[in-house]
């Protein structure tokens, strides 16, 4: 459930009418709902209770500092994968001891940044990275708490570009080598082994792959303990999927996921961390766009929007489906029409949907892409010199722009002309 509902035929974000935001900020824009973010965060904390746990929001899915502050104020931890994301978490007021650092290629500078600013743990992904972290921590005279991310060789049954838990993927160390890696970790100065980390992919729509992975982690916990390691924390990653096509998708609920965690690793006495991104942010955001033209093509009609693949790349990058709805609801039983929904960017790949059945829409009408909160704004670019679209946060009956649309001057001023020109 989210808080983007029609009232008197007009789409609202909580108590704010979408056309009011459009009038104030122009289109296209992203808009996020505080109530939805809050609700989704609490679904996880409730699903994991009474286990000791920390829900670390995967910042990569939606990294606006105002959103992070909204979640951080509720007590959320943060999962970061770069120095930049770490600084965003800190800027949102999240204390270091609630920030976990993931990612396959942390640089020494990033390690230094986090060790100086405070960090809950590093999720280490390889032996060379572990050795580098040991050196950096030692040089700073501090101890870095670590988990090792294991690759359990599990098929997450999701899109190949976002599956991370198979042995051919670049992530983690093969689980069969874990014993050796933990033995080395125990000998390295500046490191303190505290747990195990696993993340097998994103947009999982079944629980079975999680179960397979978590059972392997449970076995590994027992094994590593028998080898003398102290394992007090399990980071179980993110990945729980959301319904994108609402009419026919029903992925597992956080309560079922929580029950699975309790069943598989709940008896180990470990503190549980999870790193959900999409389930918290995905349906907490929509992208609002305006119809520029309705173009009649050869055997098909195109709806040309002012949003494009640079604003929301998921359809062209992953063939992803996003429900597209008119902001002003069509009267019941009014006719529909099939459209190819496209943006103005000069690529055929700039297509949001093909043959999509939509109510009759006309030039100037507003439409909304649902489920666009996660991996929407964060993956946007300025391709075709199209300014990054603004982000708006709604809270009850008021809203605020939380990232302005840059002006063309700002964009052009980032380019500098070398002295010889
Ligand atoms: N933890 C780690 C280590 C991750 O790599 C990811 C996502 C997450 C947590 C959060 O996963 P989530 O709960 O959001 O599924 N751009 C793609 C998704 C890439 C996901 C990358 N890693 C998309 O638009 O579908």
- Span 84-130, pLDDT tens digits: 999 999 999 999 999 999 999 999 999 999 999 999 999 999 999 99
Give the model's pLDDT for residue 45: 98
Q: What is the pLDDT of residues 33-67, one digit of tens each?
A: 999 999 999 999 999 999 999 999 999 999 999 99
Tokens 């309790």, residue? 262
Homologous superfamily of domain range 4-31+282-412: Lyase, Ornithine Decarboxylase; Chain A, domain 1 (2.40.37.10)
373 lines ligand 1 (CB under 6 A): no
Q: Give me the residues paired with residue 99 across strands.
A: 78
376 lines ligand 1 (CB under 6 A): no
- Tell me which residue has its CA closest to atom 23 in ligand 1: 375
pLDDT of 406 above 80: yes
DSSP codes joined into one string, 160-175: GGGB--STTSSSSEEG
Determine the distance separating the centroid of ligand 1 and the alpha carbon of 10, expressed in angstroms.
Answer: 32
* Residue 56 is among the residues annotated as catalytic for this protein: no
238 lines ligand 1 (CB under 6 A): yes
Q: What is the pTM of this model?
A: 0.97
Ligand 1 pocket test, pick from 202, 206, 311, 314 with the greatest ligand atom count within 8 Å of Cβ, gives 202
**What CATH code is assigned to 34-280?**
3.20.20.10
Domain 4-31+282-412 and domain 34-280, same fold? Reply is no
CA distance 137 to 4: 46
Give the model's pLDDT for residue 131: 98
162 lines ligand 1 (CB under 6 A): yes
Nearest atom within ligand 1 for CA of residue 203: 15
Give the model's pLDDT for residue 162: 82
Tokens 């972290």, residue? 133
Q: Which of 244-248, 263-267, 332-336 is modeled with the greatest confidence?
A: 263-267
79 lines ligand 1 (CB under 6 A): yes
Strands (E), 190-284: 191-197, 233-235, 271-274
Q: Give me the residues paired with residue 17 across strands.
A: 12
Q: What is the pLDDT of residues 350-365, one digit of tens each?
A: 999 999 999 989 999 9
CA distance 297 to 277: 39
Short-list 30, 31, 39, CA closest to 13: 31
Identify the active-site residue in 250, 332, 346, 362. Answer: 346
Helix then strand then coil, in percent of the chain rounded to 5, is: 35, 25, 40
Q: What is the pLDDT of residues 139-155, one digit of tens each?
A: 999 999 999 999 999 98
Tokens 């604003």, residue? 311
Total H helices, total E strands in the chain: 12, 21
Give the model's pLDDT for residue 183: 98
Write the DSSP symbol of residue 270: P
- Tell me which residue has its CA closest to atom 22 in ligand 1: 202
199 lines ligand 1 (CB under 6 A): yes
282 lines ligand 1 (CB under 6 A): no
Q: What are the residue ranges spanned by the domains of the chain?
A: 4-31+282-412, 34-280
| Crossing angle of the two packed helices 65-73 and 83-91, in degrees rounded to 10 | 60
Give the model's pLDDT for residue 297: 85
Query: What is the percent of the chain where pLDDT is above 90?
Result: 92
The answer to whether the CB of 199 falls within 8 A of the CB of 166 is no
Nearest atom within ligand 1 for CA of residue 159: 25
Q: What is the average per-residue pLDDT within 146-166?
A: 90
Nearest atom within ligand 1 for CA of residue 281: 14
Give the model's pLDDT for residue 332: 85
Confidence of residue 248 (pLDDT cuts 50, 70, 90): confident
């Amino acid at each position: 459930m989210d808080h983007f509902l029609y009232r008197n035929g007009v789409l609202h974000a909580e108590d704010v009418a979408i056309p009011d935001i459009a009038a104030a900020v122009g289109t296209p824009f992203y808009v996020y709902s505080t109530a939805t973010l809050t609700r989704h965060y609490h679904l996880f904390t409730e699903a994991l209770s009474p286990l000791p746990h920390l829900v670390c929001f995967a910042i990569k899915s939606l990294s606006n500092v105002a959103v992070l502050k909204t979640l951080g104020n509720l007590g959320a931890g943060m999962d970061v994968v770069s120095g930049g994301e770490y600084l965003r978490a800190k800027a949102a007021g999240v204390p270091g001891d609630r920030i976990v650092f993931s990612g396959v290629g942390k640089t020494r500078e990033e390690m230094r940044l986090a060790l100086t600013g405070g960090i809950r743990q590093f999720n280490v992904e390889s032996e060379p990275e572990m050795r580098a972290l040991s050196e950096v921590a030692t040089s700073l005279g501090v101890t870095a708490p670590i988990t090792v991310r294991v690759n359990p060789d599990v098929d997450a049954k999701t899109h190949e570009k976002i599956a991370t838990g198979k042995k051919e993927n670049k992530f983690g160390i093969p689980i069969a080598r874990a014993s050796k890696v933990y033995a080395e970790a125990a000998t390295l100065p500046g490191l303190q082994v505290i747990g195990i980390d696993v993340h097998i992919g994103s947009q999982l729509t079944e629980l079975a792959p999680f179960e397979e992975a978590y059972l392997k982690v449970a076995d590994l916990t027992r094994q590593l303990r028998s080898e003398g390691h102290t394992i007090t924390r399990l980071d179980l990653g993110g990945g729980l999927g959301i319904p994108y096509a609402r009419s026919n998708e029903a992925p597992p609920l956080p309560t079922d996921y929580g029950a699975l965690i309790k069943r598989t690793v709940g008896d180990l006495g470990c503190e549980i961390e999870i790193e959900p991104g999409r389930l918290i942010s995905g349906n907490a955001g929509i992208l609002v766009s305006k119809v520029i033209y309705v173009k009649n093509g050869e055997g098909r009609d195109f709806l040309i929007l002012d949003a494009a693949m640079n604003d929301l790349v998921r359809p062209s990058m992953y063939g992803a489906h996003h429900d597209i709805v008119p902001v002003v609801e069509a009267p019941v039983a009014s006719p529909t029409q099939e459209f190819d929904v496209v943006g103005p960017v000069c690529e055929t790949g700039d297509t949001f949907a093909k043959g999509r059945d939509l109510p009759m829409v006309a030039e100037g009408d507003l439409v909304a892409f649902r489920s666009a909160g996660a991996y929407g704004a964060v993956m946007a670019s300025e391709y075709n010199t199209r300014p990054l679209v603004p982000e708006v946060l709604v809270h009850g009956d008021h809203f605020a722009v939380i990232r302005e649309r840059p002006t063309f001057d700002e964009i052009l001023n980032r380019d500098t002309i070398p002295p010889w020109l």
